[in-house]
Amino acid sequence: MIKRIILILLLLMLTMCMYAQSVFSFQGPAEMYYTRDVFSEGMGGTGSGDLFRRNTGLVNPSLSTTYNRTNFSTAFIMGHLTYKNKTSSFKDDQGYLPYFNLIIPIKQHRFVFHYNTISTGKLNTENSTEVSFDNNDTYEILEEQKIDFSLYRASVFYANKNKVLNFGFGVSYLFGHRVHYHKQSYTESQLSNAIFEQESLFKNPTLNIGVSKIINKFSVGIAGSLPAKLKGDHYYKTNTLNEKTGDFTYEYPATLNFGLTFKPAEYFSLSTDIDYENWKETDNFDSPENSARVAFGISWDSYKNDDNFLKNIPVRLGISHRNLPFKVNNSSINELAYHFGISFPLKQYDSYLDLGLKIYSRADMNKHNYEETGFLFSIGTQGFDFLRKPLDRKAPRDIPKPDNRSIF
């Protein structure tokens, strides 16, 4: 138990050091994670209303009612992104831990401890120029700019499994930071390099609520979170200065999620999800607009006990479309993604390894002067009921003695 807690803390520390990439990170949160598990990511990022399976997608707290055993799940996402402008292109690696989640069931009650990345972005740029001084000396200057933005959520949820309506609610603590770093390096000179950095830290809680229910062959879920003003401090740093320059506020919008799953057969299901974020009421960047994501997914859950190995591997497909919450060149930025996923059962009871692939394109060269294409590979695990003591089948046990009485 202690070793697993230490592992969770190490994963949390590792998450803080990892980022997804986007050339639009200067404008706002381009890369968003919508709190679905890797199973859901493989079918378009759907599943916020799916009660037909064990579902750890904590966009809707009531989904934890699908578990009757203690469940721990986590994931890792990695991939490549290619930026393009009208003259050149370059690639960036990216990788981050999207979530880890612990569900503890007690009768019809579920207690959930959840952590996830909401948004993350990092961008580095370099530019080399020459400058001349009055004494006609010319120096080459290398200018470096770095920006990174991260927003995380740590939550405690309660959910109730009810025949009438499953419901869940809880408190989420949002926290994050934004850093803008600028360095000027003078090559082959005695001039001092100039370093400027602006760092903002912010945090505050919000409330989450969700409901879900199965109606015949349909499963539906609705969830949302309240808006929150994340408050903190703003710091200004140079080669010789490090001081707080004032307060900082980051506004997190109200969100609404809707999910619908249709299961016409035992091994087949269709899902659709809608995520809506009210960014227009915030003041984080220029000309904010409300963001919506629409997704569709198909899942083939495989034949059970079939001799064909390929038929025993669940397969998922999906597609998603969203608009970013800010504009570039007074034009909206859209993202189109294609999803694919499979799962493998593990030896431990009710434990799985889920794999997902997302291939996406973002923005339009003619409208925004930039466009991005990339892929993200997801790997996630779930199960691992470490609170339930496993049976010790090697322990000594009494062997019944034969009855010597005659059967006649």
DSSP, residue by residue, 286-353: SS---EEEEEEEEEE---TT-S-TGGGS-EEEEEEEEEEEEEETTEEEEEEEEEEEEEEE-SSTT-EE
Q: Which residues contact 405 (CB under 8 A, 6 or more apart)?
A: none
The CA R_g of the chain, rounded to the nearest whole Å, is 25
Q: What pLDDT, on the 0 to 100 scale, is given for residue 57?
A: 80
Q: What's the CA gap between 192 and 185, in Å, rounded?
A: 8
Q: What pLDDT, on the 0 to 100 scale, is given for residue 241?
A: 83
Q: Does residue 9 lie within any of the structural domains?
A: no
Q: Does residue 12 lie within any of the structural domains?
A: no
Q: Does residue 389 lie within any of the structural domains?
A: no
Share of the chain above pLDDT 90, in %: 51
Which of 345, 355, 352, 342 lies closest to 315, judged by CA? 342
Residue 52: phi and psi, rounded to 5, are -80, -10
Residue 287: phi and psi, rounded to 5, are 50, 55
Between 188 and 192, the more confident residue is 192
Q: What CA dihedral angle connects 97, 211, 69 and 158, to 10 degrees?
A: 80
- Please state the domain count of the chain: 1
**For 154-177, what is the mean pLDDT?**
95
What tens digit of pLDDT does each residue of 47-101 get?
999 999 989 888 999 999 999 888 888 899 999 999 888 888 888 888 888 998 9
Q: What pLDDT, on the 0 to 100 scale, is given for residue 186?
A: 76
Band the pLDDT of 357: cuts 50, 70, 90: very high
Q: 319 is in which domain, residue-wise?
A: 19-383
Q: Does residue 62 lie within any of the structural domains?
A: yes
- State which amino acid sits at residue 407: I
pTM for the predicted model, two decimal places = 0.84
Q: What pLDDT, on the 0 to 100 scale, is given for residue 120?
A: 85
Q: What's the CA gap between 271 and 57, in Å, rounded?
A: 14
Which token pair is 201?
């830290």
Q: Which whole-number Å values give the CA distances from 209 to 62, 157, 166, 171, 258, in the listed order? A: 8, 9, 11, 9, 12
CATH of residue 171? 2.40.160.60
Q: Does residue 408 lie within any of the structural domains?
A: no
Is residue 124 pLDDT above 90, yes or no? no
Q: Does residue 393 lie within any of the structural domains?
A: no
Q: Which residues contact 323 (CB under 8 A, 6 or more apart)?
A: 289, 291, 292, 332, 333, 334, 335
Between 125 and 9, the more confident residue is 125
Which token pair is 73?
């799940």
Q: What pLDDT, on the 0 to 100 scale, is given for residue 188?
A: 64
Q: Does residue 73 lie within any of the structural domains?
A: yes
Q: What's the CA gap between 56 and 48, in Å, rounded?
A: 9
- State which amino acid sits at residue 333: I
Q: What is the largest CA-CA distance in the chain?
A: 122
Which token pair is 16?
């803080």
Total residues belonging to the chain: 408
Q: What's the CA gap between 158 and 81, in Å, rounded?
A: 38
Exposure string of 153-179, with b = 16+ CB inside 10 Å and e = fewer, is: bebebebbbeeeebbbbbebbbbbbbb
Q: Does residue 229 lie within any of the structural domains?
A: yes
Between 93 and 383, the more confident residue is 93
Lowest mean pLDDT among 3-17, 96-110, 201-215, 346-360: 3-17
Q: What pLDDT, on the 0 to 100 scale, is given for residue 1?
A: 46
What tens digit of pLDDT does each residue of 229-274 get?
999 999 999 888 888 989 999 999 999 999 999 999 988 999 999 9
